[in-house]
Amino acid sequence: MFENIKKEYCYGNFLNGEWAFFDKCLDIIDPTSKKLVGRISQMKHEDVDNAIESCSSAQKEWGKMPTNERAKILHKAANLLVENQDHIADILMHEIAKDKKSCLSEINRTADFIKFTADEGERTIGEALNADNFPGVKTNKLAFVIREPLGVVLAISPFNYPINLSASKIAPALIAGNSVLLKPPTQGALSAMHMVEIFNQAGLPAGVLNTITGKSSEIGDYVVTHPKIDFINFTGSTKVGKHIASISGMVPLIMELGGKDAAIVLDDANLEDAANDIVSGAFSYSGQRCTAIKRVIAVDSIVDKLIELILPKVKELKVGNPKDSTITPLVNDKAKDFVLELMHDAEEKGAVRLIGGNYEDNLVYPTVYDKVTEEMRLAWEEPFGPVLPIIRVNNIDDAISLANKSQYGLQSSVFTMNINNAFYVAKRLEVGTVHINNKTERGPDHFPFSGIKNSGMGTQGIKYSIEAMTRRKNIVLEYN
C-alpha cells in the first residue's frame, strides 16, 4: 500500500495525484534508538509554487462536487486508516517516540474525526432571511445566505500529533470544498505522508491535497506569504504562530498555540480523583501536549494531602521505550535541554523537588516540584516535558488571579465538589475552555477548541472548523 511514497528511504511529496521525488533529503532520526527512520524531501520555492498552483486549479472542480460525494471519499479514507493502523502506528512511534498505545489511539481518533466531519459537512446548511425583520426597509426581499469554500487552505501541523492535527485541518477543509496544501512537521512528516497516501487511495482527485516538506527556514515564510493561499490553519508554538500572523497579511487564520494549563484544586475537591487526573493530564506523552496540565495551583489547606496522593501515581508511571511506557524520550535534545533549564532555574530559586529530576540522554524522568513561586520560570513557561510545578495559594481568588497572570489562555481545570465554586472559577478564568473535575484535554473533537491570549485565535472543532474554512455568500432576491 505504501510502496510508492518513498525511494531509498527518502519520502516524496504528494503533488497533483502522484508522489514526486527531489534531489535533497533530510534525515529523520528516531528519538529513542537514534537510528534513521526515513528521510524527507527538501523542497525549494519553485516546488512550493507548483504545489500551490496545482491545489488552486484542482479546487475549482472539487468545490463543485456534491458534498455527499466528497463525504464518501472521506469515509473511505477513515476506513483505510483503521485498516492500516498497526503499520502507521509503528512509524509514528519510531518517528516521535510516542508510546504505542497513544499512537493507536491517535489513529483511531483521527478516523472517527474524519467520519464525523464527513457527516457534519453533509448537515452544513445556509439560512434565509426576511428583509421585513429590519425596520424602515423594503419588505419584498429575501436573503439566501449560503456557504462557499475559501480556496486553498494551508495546513501546518506540529510534531506531537502529526496524524491527528493534520487530519483535523484537512478533513473539514476538504468537506467544505477547499483544496489543501499540507506542510507537516519535519519530525512527524513520515507518518503524515502515510495518511496522505490513504487519502489518495480513497479516491481524492489529483491536486486536491498536496504536500510540501523541507526546512522551515527555507520554505516557511515563503509559503505563508504566498498570494494564492486563502486560509492558514496552524498548530504549533506561540513563537512561530505569532511570526506567521505578523507576516501573512490579510489571510484569515486559525492559530492553535502553546499553553500553560492550570489545574486549580480547591479545599472541597475530591482529592483522589483530582490526583488521578493531574497525573494523567500532566504526564501522558511525557507532557508533550498543548493541553497537558502544566501547573497545579492548590490551596494551602489541602496541598500536602494532594501531594501525598500524586506522588505514588507518578512513581507508578512506566519510563522507557515507547513500545510499553508512558514516559518516553523527548522529541530531541533541544527539547530535553530546555526542560532541564527550567528545572535548574526552579531548583536554584528554592523549589522543592519531590520526585524525579534525573534523565538519561533525552529521556527525562517524571518530575514534580513543590513550592514553586512566581519568580521561577517554571511557573510561567511551557516545558513541553514531564515536569510539573505545584504552586501553593491561600484561597480561591488568589488561585484565579495567579492562573490569569499567564501569557497563555488555552484551558484550565478546576477541582471542587461545590458547583457554585466551580462556576465562580470557570467564569473568571481567561482561557478558551474550563474543565470542571476533569483534566484539560482537547477532545471530544466536536467540542469547540480555542485559545485566547498567546494561546491562539479562532476555533477548531469539527463544525467550527468547517465554518472557519467557508465564507458566507449572500444572494438577495427582490420579488413583486
User: Is 332 one of the binding residues for ligand NAP (CB under 6 A)?
Assistant: no
User: Is 160 one of the binding residues for ligand G3H (CB under 6 A)?
Assistant: yes
Query: Please, which residue, 80 or 343, has the CB nearer to ligand NAP?
Result: 343
Question: Of the listed pieces 198-206, 215-223, 302-310, 462-470, which binds ligand NAP according to CB under 6 A?
Answer: 215-223
Query: Please, which residue, 47 or 441, has the CB nearer to ligand G3H?
Result: 441
443 binds, among ligand G3H, ligand NAP, none (CB under 5 to 8 A by kind): ligand G3H
Q: Tell me whether residue 10 is one of the annotated catalytic residues.
A: no
User: Is 290 one of the binding residues for ligand NAP (CB under 6 A)?
Assistant: yes
Q: Which of 68, 166, 150 is nearest to 113 (CA)?
A: 166
Task: Please select the residue that binds ligand NAP; options are 38, 151, 158, 287, rule is CB under 6 A.
Answer: 158
Q: Which of 388, 355, 370, 433 is nearest to 286 (CA)?
A: 388
Task: Please select the residue that binds ligand NAP; options are 31, 149, 172, 236, rule is CB under 6 A.
Answer: 236
287 binds, among ligand G3H, ligand NAP, none (CB under 5 to 8 A by kind): none
Q: Tell me whether residue 103 is one of the annotated catalytic residues.
A: no
User: What is the nearest approach in angstroms of ligand G3H to the Cβ of residue 297?
Assistant: 19
Q: Which of 383, 438, 386 is nearest to 408 (CA)?
A: 383
Task: Please select the residue that binds ligand NAP; options are 116, 159, 359, 369, rule is CB under 6 A.
Answer: 159
User: Is 434 one of the binding residues for ligand G3H (CB under 6 A)?
Assistant: no
Q: Which of 145, 146, 153, 158 is nearest to 173 (CA)?
A: 153
Question: Of the listed pieces 85-93, 150-158, 297-305, 312-320, which binds ligand NAP according to CB under 6 A?
Answer: 150-158
Give the C-alpha separation, 100 to 323, whole Å.
5
Task: Please select the residue that binds ligand G3H; options are 290, 303, 319, 426, rule is CB under 6 A.
Answer: 290
Find the largest Cα–Cα distance for the chain: 80
User: Is 468 one of the binding residues for ligand G3H (CB under 6 A)?
Assistant: no
User: Is 455 one of the binding residues for ligand G3H (CB under 6 A)?
Assistant: no
Give the C-alpha separation, 6 to 40, whole Å.
9
269 binds, among ligand G3H, ligand NAP, none (CB under 5 to 8 A by kind): none
Give the C-alpha separation, 173 to 79, whole Å.
19
User: Is 258 one of the binding residues for ligand NAP (CB under 6 A)?
Assistant: yes
User: Backbone dihedral region of 17: left (phi > 0), alpha (psi from -120 to 50 degrees) or beta?
Assistant: left
Q: For residues 403 and 429, is the Cβ–Cβ distance under 8 A?
A: yes
Q: Which of 319, 317, 299 is nearest to 390 (CA)?
A: 299
User: Is 245 one of the binding residues for ligand NAP (CB under 6 A)?
Assistant: no
CA 446 and chain centroid, separation: 14
Distances (CA, A) of 48 to 253, 287, 451: 20, 34, 30
User: Is 329 one of the binding residues for ligand NAP (CB under 6 A)?
Assistant: no
Question: Of the listed pieces 204-212, 289-297, 308-316, 322-330, which binds ligand G3H according to CB under 6 A?
Answer: 289-297
**Count of CB atoms situated within 10 Å of the CB of 153:** 28
User: What is the nearest approach in angstroms of ligand G3H to the Cβ of residue 158?
Assistant: 7
Q: For residues 12 and 24, is the Cβ–Cβ distance under 8 A?
A: no
User: What is the nearest approach in angstroms of ligand NAP to the Cβ of residue 430?
Assistant: 15
Residue 308: phi, psi to the nearest 5?
A: -55, -35
Give the C-alpha separation, 147 to 467, whole Å.
8
- State the cell numbers at 292: 497537558
- State the cell numbers at 373: 513561586
Amino acid at 399: A
Tell which positions 435-454 bind ligand G3H, by CB under 6 A. 441-443
256, 381, 382, 441: the catalytic one is 256
User: Is 180 one of the binding residues for ligand NAP (CB under 6 A)?
Assistant: no
**Count of CB atoms situated within 10 Å of the CB of 107:** 25
Interface residues with ligand G3H (CB under 6 A) are 160-161, 289-291, 441-443
Interface residues with ligand NAP (CB under 6 A) are 156-160, 165, 183, 185-186, 216, 220-221, 224, 235-237, 240, 243-244, 256-259, 290, 382, 384, 410, 451, 456
Name the residues annotated as catalytic.
256, 290
